[in-house]
Structure 1
Amino acid sequence: MDGDTGTTGKLPETTATGAAPDRRPSRKTVLRAALAASVAAPIALMGVPALARTASVTGEAPALTPECDDGDDPTPPQMEGPYFKPNSPRRSSLLEAGTPGTRLTVSGYAFGSACLPLSGVLLDFWQADVNGAYDNVGFRFRGHQFTDARGAFSLTTIVPGLYPGRTRHLHVKVQAPGRPVLTTQLYFPNEPRNSTDALFDPRLLMTVRDTGGAREAAFDFVLNVPQTPGPGPTEGPTTPPPGGTWAVGTSYAPGVRVTYGGVTYVCLQGHQAQPGWEPPSVPALWRAE
C-alpha cells in the first residue's frame, strides 16, 4: 500500500546485529515505477525475477514473479457512509467549469495477490465539495472509471472540504471482474483531524505532494484476487454466456434490461460489457429483477 507520508523524524532502525535493515524498495514500488515508464523493472535493484510481461522490452522471457511477501496485504475496507449513490457517470474528471477548490489528481494501480496489475477494475469515487457538502440530488463529485490494460487509473478532482466529525477523505468502491466489491476511503497525510477521526486508518493514506497551486496524490489498491504469476494483467473469465441478450462489447446505458441465464437484469451504471462483467458477477453494474 502506498502510505508513505514522507520524513517521519524517527532515528534510523537497526537489526539485532547493529546493522541498518534492508531499505530496498518493495517489489510493488519497483513494478509501479516500471509500469509508469513502460519499461522493464530493474531486476538488479530488487534481486528478484522480473515480470514475464516485460519480455517484449528485453527480448527475453524472464522467470515468473514471486507472490507478494513484502507486506502488501489487501487494501482494508471501510464503511460506505450515508452519501453513496449508484448510477454515477463514467468519467475520470469530476471537475466542471468554474469548480472552486484546490485541484487534485489521484493516480495509481490495482494489483492482485501476486503483485500483478489488474485491468478492467471498476473504481467508483464520490466526495464532498470544497465546503464539505455532498451532492445528494445530482452527481457533482461522483464518477466511475475502469483501470486500463496496465491496471492504471487516474482521477482529476479537487481536495475535498471538511465537515464536522471527519478528517479530509475520498470515498471509493473497487471491484475486479467477477469479484466482490471493496468499499473503502482514502486519506491525506498531515491532516490535523487524522488524530481525532475514529474512522481514520493510516494504511489508507495517499502519498501527496504539492505541485504549484495543485496537489498530486498516489495510491495503489491491492485486491484479494488470486493470481498465478505470469504475463500480462489478469482478465476475467471468458466462458460464453448461458443464453440471453447480454453480449460482450455492447455499450449499456442505465435502465437498459438484458437477460442472462434465464434471469432479467437492469443496468445500474453505463459501461461497455467485457468478459468477467457478466450480470450475476457485478452487482455494482446490474440488478436482477
Structure 2
Amino acid sequence: MDEENKLSRKTVLKAALAAGVAAPVALFGGPALARANAVGGTAPELTPACHDDDEPTMEQTEGPYFKPNSPERTNLVTPGTQGTRLTVTGYVFGRACLPVGRALLDFWQADVNGAYDNTGYTFRGHQYTDAQGAFTLSTIVPGLYPGRTRHIHVKVQAPGRPVLTTQLYFPGEPRNNTDTIFDARLLMTVRDNGSAKEAAFDFVLDVPQTPTSTRPTPTSATPPGGTSWAVGTAYAAGARVTYGGRGYVCLQAHTAQPGWEPPAVPALWRAE
C-alpha cells in the first residue's frame, strides 16, 4: 500500500470513529476494530487491521455455571451493584472481515466476590449486534475465585450458525500465569476511564463471507528496527519486532509462546 493511500485510510478511519459512525466497508473491507474506538471524542490511533481469512476466535470451556434463557439486556448493573464499572465494546466479524449483524452474544460472569448467581440471572444477559456488527456490554470487573484468573464467559452465534463458546481475559492479571485455561489470544484491550474501566474485543466467527472490495497488496519491505519475533523470547513493553514483513510494538511484558504471534494477540502487540 502506498503511503498516500495509507494516510487516507487512516484519516477516514479516525474521522468515522470520532464522529461515532461506521467506517465505509468499501474502503476498509470491514468496520474499524473496536480497539480503535475513540474515548471522549478524541481521535484514536490506528490499530491492527482485520484481514480476510483471519483465524476464528478460539473456543474455550463453558464451565459449570452457564444458565440458558438469560434476559435480553446490554446492562448487567443494577442500583446498589458493587464493583468497578466496566464497559466492553466490540464487533463480530465473519471470515472476510465483514460485520455480522444480529449475532447473538450471551454473557455471564462472577460478581465482585467471585460468586455466580445460580438461582437468578444476576450478571447474566444476552444481546444482539447491530447492523454494523457492534455490541456494548455494561457490567463490572468480575471478582476472583480459587483456581481461575479474572474472566468473562460468552457464547456468540451468527444467525443460523453454530455457537462459539469462549472466555475473555484481562491483561496484567497475576493469575494469568497460573490459570491452565487462560490464553493470551483472548485478552481484551483494557484501559482506565476515571474510576471505571473500558475494554474491547472483536470476535471472528467461522462464517463464510464474500469480500466486497479488493484489499491492497501488502508491501514486502521489512519495517525498520526491531528483531524477528521468536517463541521463547522475553519481550518488554516498548520492544519492537518484525513478523510477516510488518513491524510491531510490544504493549505489555511477556514471554512469547506458540499461538501468540503479533497479529493474533492485539492486546500484546500493536502494528506500526
State the TM-score, normalized to the length of structure 2.
0.63
Superposed displacement of residue 230, structure 1 = 2.5
Residue of 114, 119, 122 corresponding to 2:101: 119
* 1:177 aligned onto 2:159: yes
1:162 is the counterpart of 2:144: yes
Report 1:94-133 matches (<5 A).
94-133=76-115
The question of whether the paired residues in 2 share the 8 Å contact of 1:32 and 1:109 is answered with no
Determine if contact 1:174/1:182 at 8 Å carries over to the other structure. yes
Q: Judge conservation of contact 1:35–1:150 (CA < 8 Å) in 2.
A: no
The match for 1:134 is 116
- 1:35-71 C-alpha deviation (Å, 9 max, x unpaired): 674254599xxxxx54499xxxxxxxxxxxxx935x8
Tell me the SS of whatever aligns to 1:167: coil
Q: 1:125-150, CA deviations, whole angstroms, 9 ceiling, x for partnerless residues?
A: 00000000000000000000000011
Structure 1 residues not aligned, in runs of 5+: 1-23, 44-48, 54-66, 232-289
Q: 1:219 and 2:208 equivalent?
A: no
Aligned to 2:179: 197
Cα distance change, pair 206–168 in 1 and its aligned pair in 2 (3 A): same
Q: Distance in 2 between matches of 1:226 and 1:178?
A: 12
Residue aligning to 1:86? 68
**Runs of 4 or more off by more than 6 Å in structure 1?**
30-33
Query: Corresponding residue for 2:21?
Result: 38
The structure with the larger Rg is 1
- Show CA shifts across 1:197-236 (max 9, x none): 00000000000001110000000000000000129xxxxx
| Alignment-mate amino acid for residue 142 of structure 1 | R
Letter aligned with residue 55 of structure 2: D
* Change over 3 Å in CA distance of 1:31–1:147 after alignment to 2: farther
Deviations 1:248-271 (A, max 9, x none): xxxxxxxxxxxxxxxxxxxxxxxx
Aligned length: 187
TM-score, normalising length: structure 1: 0.59
Stretches of structure 2 that go unaligned for 5 or more consecutive residues are 1-5, 32-49, 214-272
CA contact (8 A) 2:76 2:139 kept: yes
Aligned: 1:228 with 2:210 = yes
CA spacing shift, 1:109–1:39, aligned 2, 3 Å: closer
CA RMSD, 1 decimal: 2.9
